[in-house]
Structure 1
Amino acid sequence: MKRLLPIAALTLAASAEDAPDYSKMKADQLFETLCSSCHGKDLNSGLGGSLVDGQWKHGATDAEIRKSISEGNLQLGMTPFKTVLNDDQIRMLVIYIREKEKDALAKGIEYPKPEPGKITHTDHEDYKIEMVVEDGLDIPWAIGFLPDGRKLVTERPGRLRVIGTDGKLDPEPIQGTPAVIHHGQGGLMEVAIHPDYEHNGWIYLGFADGWRTEDDKPRTITKYVRGRIKDHQWVDEEEIWKADKEFYTDQGVHFGTRLVFDQGYIYFVIGERYGWKQAQDVKRPNGKIYRLFEDGRVPDDNPFVDTEGAIPGIWTYGHRNPQGLALDPRDGSLWETEHGPRGGDELNVIERGKNYGWPIITYGMNYDGTPITGETEKEGMEQPVIYWQPSIAACGLDFYTGDQFPEWKNDLFAGALAQQEVRRLRIVDHQVTEQEIVLKNIGRVRDVASGPDGYLYIILNDPHRVIRLVPAK
């Protein structure tokens, strides 16, 4: 005989059966299903009030918003969602709300969009842009400055180009440079000129190394070499760092790739190549920042030299896709920017042996609006100095060291691909005290570099150009 249930129990059982499966919903679907009736589909209407006007009655931090979603406030009619959503889903809603808030607050703001010949005003300096190379480049990626006034520019399809002392792009690329695999986000990427180039002539390159299988599938990972240029030829090549073949992959994303010099050492990055959890494994090369001597030897005091099975060149781990690396000229600290997923691009201070968390902790979610993790912090893992939400697609990073813009001296300039902007960050005691967009919407910013002439050089993609900022005066 069947046991009869009370009417209330039957109602609850029926409603549970009819309830949608939240676990399969993306961020926008979750919001529309659970939140739009009170806050509006545009997040800016309804009895619950706006979520995108920058005004928060019950706490403005991510943690406080997360608590409001989880715990609710029954006296004010706010449903607690912790019984139907897990931590990952609640974190995903916070990211979605932050994206929409940012978009709403940005409406009507006029960002500096410079035009040739016109003065652009910023908080501390006014500038004009000058066109260095307007045509003839194919996906330029990085720029380096030779002591005689020439400049080297990499093109991702695999060419190393020269801008002459007359300011003109040499139509012929340097011959004999390493073979690269131009695949997805990979190709010829970094170029870095040795600080003592006048005496040793060394030029360092970072690129997607590998091979293609019989069915034309690539196997790649980032590799670094150094060489010299003589008579327009690449010569004297020496291998600086290369992964074992077992770690090459057919993934076309997250190559990372930047290199800086520091008093006899080099630091460089390898992206995690879409091998998420491999970034946490010091026995695997991807998702790491490395420290070597300039000739590729491993220093004895590296943090994992004595760790069994670890790759000895590793300096830090837990990185996703770093594409910005710079040394603070004031104290020698190492700074890095890396792409988060959807939300959670990071600015980090890089310190010996530390774990930067990816993918165990992150301030982002998957590109399709599904969660990665609800965790944003964990013991033993570093917090970013700042993170950008929504993502700016951080790329290219340099401290300004020139004298042409005295009010920008020692400020950090960060490029952004998706947001097409250059941000100026003022760093005091390893904290960002100012952040300003100084350029926007003239192309995807691939690299930012402080030139020896005191100008700020910027590599743009779409359109593929090199420009520089010069004082308005």
Structure 2
Amino acid sequence: MKKTSYLYTLLASAILGFSSCNSTISSSTSTSATTNAIAAATQATAPELDLAGVKAAYISYCSGCHGEELEAFADRKWKHGSTDEDLFKAIKHGYPDEGMPAFAETFSDEQLNGLVAYIQQGIKGIKAYDFGSEKTAEAVQQSEEQKFRLDTVATGLDVPWGMAFLPGGEMLITDRSGILYRLSKDRKLQTVEGAPKVLAQGQGGLLDVELHPDFAKNNILYLSYSAVKEEGGQTLSSTAVMRAKLNGNKLSEQKVIFEALPYSKTRHHYGSRLEFDKDGYLYISVGDRGNHDENPQDLARHAGKVHRIKDDGSIPSDNPFVNKQGAVASTFSYGHRNIQGMALHPQTGQVWTHEHGPRGGDEVNIAEKAKNYGWPVISYGINYNGTVLTELTKKEGMEQPLHYWVPSIGPSGMAFVTGSRYKNWEGDLMVGSLRFQFLSRLKMDGTKVLGEEKLLKNIGRVRDVKMGPDGYLYVAVETPGTIYRLVPVE
């Protein structure tokens, strides 16, 4: 397929809000279909936008971050105000440091007013989506090859971001607000003291949690978070990792063993997933912090990378850039945008990741030593405001994803299905969707994705997915802050 044809198709699919796409866009798309799609895209941004046009524009340009049903506006703390004028200013000029792009060149003022009216009217009708009602939580869910129901494990959370399973049937849960919870066997939430100070703004806060491979003996755990400091009159933040010892409901011996430099004034793309490999090395994802022009391809910067360190924070001698002058020694792979999913393959021992693209181009990859994953030189996505970021989807020396989504699903959390509880799911890859609010089951054959099944549609923004030591799948959902367990039904 020609580059221009691919880009037109991508733009059209974004505008029209196609609900799914295979890992490639078919080259058989007809010229007339593409032309009609572009016409629809143009109509969706015409000055005389009607309700349908405004909704199409919102879904195309805004829903990736704010939800198709405006659910991200529910219980919103309006940092920049909630009047029509405040929303108009936010959409037109953006707040780039917080991940909100400007749309001044995308929409006219009349079109912006239409979007403001649509959002304000929609906010009035928002109600917290209760997937856990008796109509759905206890109902038997039917997938292609498995029946199951949902067991509510924990409620009352704000934004549950990470989960880790303690010996004896308890669980640790990070809440992005900055609270570390311990969930007792009788499912009571208890606050753990001693968590790090975080900047709970934008996408930042208390993020992932990972147990030391020998936790049963040493009680050591790891927390990733948005660290904060004041410098030059500005509040700056970065992705950091703390190592600590868990004693009951208290942390002790806290030590920061990783800190991504430089600190930034932005409030997004922290990355922040943690995973130990079979050799006991800790992998850490750090997003590009919203600075894709400099960070991902610059080996002298931590951002836009996967890092590998020893359990005490020291650097493995066989890291790929240890002896490269000026390079960050902890770097394992680079050219990443924002990895929010990381899982160890149960057979190969390889570390798998997925990362957010812009509008389109969310990717599944295997993190391999010294490899460049291409961001932002190559991408299957476009800018949020509809402009073309790059015309390249491939380039020599840069890795191709094993699978990608167009449009973006906003992936977060991932787990390989192990054990025998779930018939015909073993080996499949489960990925949460923030944007479309479902659990994605990628049907796997080795490293090849054969297809996708969407489970738990409209459950809410799925933030994390984990296999528990009891052999069950656990899913953490933001709206409302709930953790479910998938229980197979015969």
Taking structure 1 as the reference length, what is the TM-score of the superposition?
Answer: 0.76
RMSD: 3.1
1:265 to 273, 281, 294: 281
In the alignment, which residue of structure 1 is the partner of 2:175?
Answer: 155
**The one of 411, 415, 418 aligned to 2:432:** 415
- Aligned to 2:186, which of 131, 142, 166? 166
Q: Distance in 1 between matches of 2:230 and 2:438?
A: 36
Match status 1:198 vs 2:208: no
SS in 2 for 1:199: helix
- How far apart are 1:402 and its partner, in Å? 3.3
Counterpart amino acid of 2:265?
D
Q: CA deviation at 1:427?
A: 2.3
Q: How big is each residue's C-alpha offset from its partner over 1:120-172, in whole Å with a ceiling of 9 and x where there is no partner?
A: 1111211000111122x1111111100111101001111101110112222xx
1:117 to 138, 144, 154: 138
How far, CA to CA, are the matches of 1:307 and 1:329 in structure 2? Answer: 32
Identity of matched residues, %: 40
Moved over 3 A (4+): 51-54, 60-66, 212-215
1:7 aligned partner? none
Task: Give 1:195 deviation, angstroms.
Answer: 2.5
The reply on whether 1:378 has 2:401 as its aligned counterpart is: no
| Number of equivalences | 385
Return 5+ residue gaps in structure 1 as ranges. 1-25, 32-41, 44-50, 55-59, 74-95, 101-111
Match of 2:269 in 1: 254
Matches within 5 A, 1:382-397: 382-397=399-414
Cα displacement string for residues 308-360 of structure 1 (whole angstroms, at most 9, x for unaligned residues): 10001100000001000011101112211100001111111221110000000
Matched to 1:418, the amino acid is: R
| Structure-2 separation of matches of 1:282 and 1:427 | 33
Q: CA deviation at 1:407?
A: 2.1
Larger mean Cα displacement after TM superposition, 174-183 or 339-348:
174-183
The corresponding residue for 2:202 is 184
Secondary structure of the 2:424 match is: helix
Partner of 1:424: 441
**1:333 paired to 2:350:** yes
User: Shift in Å at residue 401 of structure 1?
Assistant: 1.9
Normalised by the length of structure 2, the TM-score is: 0.73
Indicate yes or no: 2:232 matched with 1:211.
Answer: no
Query: Which deviates more from structure 2 when the two are superposed, residues 194-203 or residues 247-256?
Result: 194-203
Counterpart of 1:276? 292
What is the CA deviation profile of residues 257-294 of structure 1, one whole-angstrom value per residue up to 9, with x for unaligned ones?
Answer: 11111121111100000110310011111000011112
Q: Sort the Cα spacing of 1:27 and 1:183 in 2 relative to 1 into closer, same or farther, 3 A.
A: farther
CA distance in 2, matches of 1:63, 1:374: 16
How far apart are 1:434 and its partner, in Å? 2.9
Structure 2 unaligned spans of 5+ = 1-6, 36-56, 62-130
Aligned residue for 1:280, secondary structure, equals coil
Counterpart CA distance in 2 for 1:470 and 1:452 is 14
Equivalence map 1:212-227=2 (5 Å): 212-213=230-231, 217-227=234-244
Does 1:127 pair with 2:144?
no
Q: Distance in 2 between matches of 1:284 and 1:53?
A: 36
The reply to whether residue 343 of structure 1 matches residue 360 of structure 2 is: yes
- Structure 1 residues 53 and 238: alpha-carbon distance in aligned structure 2, compared to 1, 3 A threshold: closer
Give 1:27 deviation, angstroms.
Answer: 7.8
The one-letter amino acid of 1:272's match is D
